[in-house]
Copies of this chain bind each other. A is one copy, B any other.
Amino acid sequence: MTCEPGLERDDLDMCETHEVDFRSAEEARASLPDTGYVAEVFRVMGDSTRLSILYLLLKREWCVHDLATILDTSVSNVSHHLRLLRTMRLVKATKVGRRVVYSLDDEHVETLMSEAFKHAAHG
């Protein structure tokens, strides 16, 4: 494997001692999508309290007060978490009287969660 012209060797100098050709690396880098958004979704789901909220919303909608009671934490805490979930458009809020009822806003999240919990039960 030799370094061909046209490719910046300074950027991907994998052909010095590696037998791995740097063209594969170049292709790999090019094929890499923007992971930022997906990572953010995973990060938001990667908290026990928020994941519990999402899990509860799988079956039915809940208002903030009830979520806080079920999860044994403060209304304020739940509200903060819900704001994050709302920002990421994973849940949506509907005002009902003086209450705000939350429900899932993303079908994809349900798929992700059912997959994840399925695997957790398996392992």
Give chain A's interface residues, CB within 8 Å of chain B.
12-14, 18, 20, 25, 28-29, 31-33, 35-48, 50-52, 55-56, 59, 62-63, 65-66, 69-70, 106, 108, 111-113, 115-120, 122-123
Copies of this chain held together in the complex: 2
Of the residues B37, B55, B118, contact of A32 by C-beta under 8 Å: B55
Contact of A66 with B25 at beta-carbon distance under 8 Å, contacts A43-B43, A43-B47 already known: yes
By beta carbon, the residue of chain B nearest A26 is B70
Are A39 and B32 neighbours in the complex by a CB distance under 8 Å? no
Are A42 and B45 neighbours in the complex by a CB distance under 8 Å? yes
Are B42 and A56 neighbours in the complex by a CB distance under 8 Å? no
Contact of A42 with B38 at beta-carbon distance under 8 Å, contacts A12-B69, A25-B69, A28-B70 already known: no
By beta carbon, the residue of chain B nearest A121 is B33
